[in-house]
Amino acid sequence: MRGLFVTGTDTGIGKTVLSAALMLRYPEARYWKPIQTGTHDDDDTAEVRRLSGGQVIDEGVRLADPVSPHLAARLAGITIELPNREGDEVYIVEGAGGVLVPVNDSQMMVDLMVRLGLPVIVAARSRLGTINHTLLTIEALRIRALRVAGVVMIGHRNADNRAAIEHYGEVAVIAEMPHFDPLTRECLRVWAETLPKDLLA
């Protein structure tokens, strides 16, 4: 596989909007969310389709309850098997929740990242608490020999938090994404042009 895996330091952090922005920046890519929960209330795949207008893969695990994948699967009476995908196409893959979210009784989201082998972009909040959460996420990725392509900080700009993450995490903050109001394809497209063009290289 070629592409990027989008993870976050928490749930509800902005991974889906960031994924849509990456789709706008890299129109040759296809979006895929292999495991999605809470589909009755919040369909991330549909949102990326709306915001990017790009190629979206609908297949994957889709569970109704807005809880951790392992619990949503248990409530649905199933066990999630980690998916795989092969081929030469370029993908923007979005994870569910954070790196160590359980998927089944023995595997976590990071095990899917290892299986796919894509460089990882970390979506992180800009506010208080983000330094610890972001550094822990980066550490968990590097322990498993996953390449961190960069961090995108989401929310009001915070120069001190950005500097700390770059220094202690030895990682680049590649972009800072605001909360868009309203959130439209056009405003996201303008912001997406600020993303590095060589992330897929």
Q: Which of these is catalytic: 30, 33, 125, 133? A: 33
Asked if residue 151 lies in contact with residue 171, where contact means CB atoms within 8 angstroms, the answer is yes
Asked if residue 48 lies in contact with residue 31, where contact means CB atoms within 8 angstroms, the answer is yes
**15 belongs to the catalytic site:** no
Q: For the segment 135-168, what is each residue's pLDDT rounded down to a tens digit?
A: 999 999 999 999 999 999 999 999 999 999 999 9
> What are the distances in angstroms from CA 143 to CA 110, 148, 167?
11, 11, 18
**CA 103 – CA 67 distance, rounded (Å):** 11
Q: Which amino acid is at 140?
A: A
> What are the distances in angstroms from CA 7 to CA 19, 74, 75, 110?
10, 23, 24, 9
Q: For the segment 61-115, what is each residue's pLDDT rounded down to a tens digit?
A: 999 999 999 999 999 999 999 998 888 899 999 999 999 999 999 999 999 999 9
Domains and CATH numbers, the chain: 2-192 (3.40.50.300)
Q: Considering the entire predicted model, what is its pTM?
A: 0.96
